[in-house]
Amino acid sequence: KSRESVPHLLSLLAAGDDELLAETVGALGAIGDDTVVVEVIGVLRSAGDLAVQRAAIEALGTLGSREAVPPLIEVLALNREELKIPIARSLGGLGSQDALAALEGLLTDADGEVRRIAVAGIGAVQDPSALPRLERLVHDPDEAVRRETAAALGTLGSDEGVPLLIQLLQDADENVCAQAMQSLEQIGTESVRSLVEMLSSEDEKLVTRVVRVLGRIGDMRTINPLLKLMEKSDIRLREEIADALVQTDSRLWADDDLRWEMKESYAWLRLSIARSLGRMKHVRALDLLFKLIEETYAEGDEDRLRAAPDSLQLVIRESLSCLQRAAAEMMGELDLPDTVKAALEHLSSGPYPAVRRWLVYSLGFLKREASATALVELLKRDDMEEEVENIGEALKRLSSRTVVEKLLAAIGATTGTARRRVVVTIGIQQDGRCVSRLGDLLKDPDEGVRFASVVALSRIGIREVFDVLTNATKDVSEKVRKRAVEVLARMPDERSLNVLGSALHDRATEVRVAAARALGSLESVRTVPVLVAGLRDTSSQVRESIVNTLGKLGSKKAVDPLIQMLRDTNPQVRQASVRALGRIGDVKAVVPLLEAMDDPDLWVKTQAFQTLRDMGETAVASLVDALAHANPAIQASAIKLLSRAAAPTVVPALLDATAHRARAMRANTATVLGNLRERGAVVPLIGLLDDRDYEVREKAAMALGNIGDVSAMVALRNAQKDQNRDVRVAALGAMQQIRELNEMA
C-alpha cells in the first residue's frame, strides 16, 4: 500500500494479462492515491474482461473521486447483471448527487441485493429530495431492502421520512423494526409529534416500539402522552413506559442548558417528600402539594419563559404542567383530612388561572361528599366562568349518585349565568335522570340557560330527550332553535322528519340551513319530497344546503329536481347541484351536465366536466348519444369528454356510431376517434370518406390525419378528388400530418 509503488503499478497497466491487470487495478485502489483516477477510468472503459472491469469499478469507489461518476454510469447503462452490485456500491460510496439518478434507477431492479445497495447509496448521498423514491421500498419483498431503507431514511434525517419509518416499525421482520427504531432516534425530536400520535394505535407491538423510541429520543413533549397511556396499559407496557420516562428524564437532566431554566428544579424532590409524608398522614404533605401547584407555574413566570430560547419554552411549560398535575392527583391519592377546605381557601385567594385550573382538578380526585358540594358551590361564582368544563369533569370523576341531586338543587341559583353554568355541568354528567328538569329549563327566561339546556340534552343523548328537543325548535331565539335542530341531526329518528321539515321553513336562514343538513341524517323515504319542497327557498345558502343533502342521500327521486337546479340564479347552487347529480350517478343527468359544461361560471363548468369524467362507464352510452344532440354546445362538450375518456367501452360504442343515421353523430364520432388516435378506427373512418355528407367526410379525413396510420394514405389521396373543397383541404392536411408523424416515429 505504499505510494512509492504507484509508478511501477501504472506501468503494469499496459500488460496484456487480464488477471495481472485486475490485480494491478485492485492494488491501485487499495493504495488510495486519487492521482491515478484517470488511469483507472481508462482501464474501465477499455477492458473487455469482467474481472478487470469489476476491479476497476471497486477501485474507483475506493479512490473516492467524483470524476468516476460519469464512467461508472456509462458502464451501468450496459446493463450487465454481474456489475450492477459493485457499480451501485461504488456510486453510493462516492456520495455525489450526480450519482443519484443512476442509483434511483436501480431501485426497481429484480435483484434484491442490487436494490439494497442502491438504497444504501442514496442514503450516503444525503439528499432529502430522494426521499419520495424510497417510499415504495417500504413494502419491498426483501427484508434486507426494507432494513436498508429504514437506515437510509435515518441517514437522510428528514422529518418527511418519519411516516415511512413508522410504517417500518410495523414490519414483520424484527431486524427491520430495530433499524426503523434506530433511524427514528437518529432523526430525533422532529419525529416526536408523529410518534406520539401512534400511541393511540391498537397494535400493541407498534405502541411498545414507539414507546421505546420516544424514550431514546428523550423529548419533554412525550411525558404527558406517556403518562396518559400508562393509565390504560397493562403491566408489561407500563414497565416499558416507565423505562421511557426514566430515559427521558435522564437525557433532560444531562442537558446543561435545561438545568438553570427548570422552574423550582428541586420540586420533583419535594413531590417525593410529599408522597412520603402523605403516607404517614402528616399535615405538611398538604402544604407541600399546594406549594407545588401554586409556585411551580405562578403569575409572572410567563415573562420569565419568554426570555428563554424558543426551543426551551415548550419544554419548560410541559415539565411544570406535568408537576402540577402530579401534585393535584396526589391530593386525591393521599386523601388527607381538611383537603377540601384547604383547596377552597386557596381558590378564594384568587390564584393565577393556570393554578386555579389545577386546584379544581384536584377536587375531582377527593372521593368525599364535601368535594362534590364544594365543586357545585363553585359554579355559583362568576370568577369560575372559565372553569365550568373543568368543574364538570371533576364532578364526573367523583362518580357519586349525589352529584346530580346536588346539581339539580343548585338550579335555583338566582342569576341566569349561574344557572347556565349548572346546566352545562349537568350535561357533562350525562345522567338521564336530568331530562325532565332540563325540559323545564327550556322555558327559562334566560336565552343562555335555554341554549345550555339543549346542549346538555344532546350530551345525555337518550331517546327520551326527543320530545323535549322538539319544543326547543320553536324557541323564540334563533340560536336555540338552530342548536336544537343540530342536536336532532345526531339523533336519527323517524319522528324527526316532521320536526325538521317544519324547521326547513323557519324564519331564520341559519335555522333552515341547519335543518337541511340535519335531514341528511334520516333514512326515511319521505325525506326527499320534504327537501325538494324547500328548493324554492329565497336564500341561496338554504338551497345550496338542500342540494348538498339530496346528493348525500343519493336517491334517484331527486334527479329531476336537481336537474332543474342547474338553472338556479346562484352559481354556488348550480355547482352544488352538479356535485349532487354526480354522487347519485343517474344517466338521466348526463345531458344536463353536458349543458352545464357551457355554464358562464368557471367553477360550475369545471365541476360538470369533472363530475362526468368521474361517472366513467355509467355515462359512456349517454355521452355517445349526445354527439347527435340538437344543441351544438352539448355536442362539443360530449366530444371534449369522450376525447379524454379512459373507459374500455368508449371505443366500441364509437365504432358502432360510425354507421349511425344522424349526420352529426357520424361527424362527431369521427372527431372523437381521431382525438383518441384509435388505430382500430382506421377502416371505418376510411369508409366515412365516401359518406354522403361532406362534413362527415371532412371530419373523417381530419381524424385519419390525427391517427397517423399510413394505411389511410391511398384513401386520402382519392379524397383529394372530392367535389367539396373542405374535404379536399382536409385530406391534403391529413396526408401531410401522417407523413410528419411517421417521420418523427
Average confidence (pLDDT) over 253-258: 54
- C-alpha 433/C-alpha 733 separation (Å) is 85
Q: Decide if pLDDT at 566 tops 90.
A: yes
Residues 6+ apart with CB under 8 A from 77: none
**What pLDDT shows up at residue 260?**
44
d(CA 70, CA 647): 44
Rounded Cα gap, residues 133 and 630, in angstroms: 51
pLDDT of residue 74: 81
Q: What is the pLDDT of residues 592-622, one digit of tens each?
A: 999 998 899 999 999 999 998 888 888 888 8
Confidence of residue 174 (pLDDT cuts 50, 70, 90): very high
pLDDT band per the 50, 70, 90 thresholds, residue 704: very high
When comparing pLDDT for 388 and 414, which is higher?
A: 388
pLDDT value of position 538: 93
Is it the case that residue 701 has pLDDT exceeding 80? yes
Q: Where along the chain do its domains lie?
A: 3-221, 649-745
The Cα 635–Cα 419 span in angstroms is 66
Percent of the chain with pLDDT over 70: 94
DSSP 416-432: HHHHHHHHHHHHHHT-G
Give 8's contacts (C-beta < 8 A, 6+ positions apart). none
Where in 217-327 does DSSP place strands (E)?
none
- Same fold? 3-221, 649-745: yes
Q: Residue 11: is its pLDDT beyond 70?
A: yes
Residue length, the chain?
Answer: 745
pLDDT 10s digits, 271-308 = 766 675 576 575 667 877 887 888 777 666 777 777 77
Q: Could you read off the pLDDT of 706-737 as tens digits, one per residue?
A: 999 999 999 999 999 999 999 999 999 999 99
The closest alpha carbon to 210, from 258, 162, 246, belongs to 162
Residues 223 and 248: beta-carbon distance below 8 Å: yes
Q: For residue 258, what pLDDT is reported?
A: 47
Provide the whole-model pTM.
0.55
- Average pLDDT value for residue range 42-57: 80
Which CATH number does 649-745 carry? 1.25.10.10
Domain 3-221 architecture: Alpha Horseshoe (1.25)
- Alpha carbon separation from 551 to 177, 538, 547, 584 (Å, rounded): 45, 20, 6, 6
Q: What is the 3-state secondary structure (H, E, C) of 460-524?
A: HCCHHHHHHHHHHCCCCCHHHHHHHHHHHHCCCCCCHHHHHHHHCCCCCHHHHHHHHHHHCCCCC
Q: Cell match 422532529: residue?
A: 190
Q: How far apart are the first and last CA of the chain?
A: 55
How many whole angstroms separate alpha carbon 683 and alpha carbon 693?
18
Distance CA 519, CA 503 (A): 10
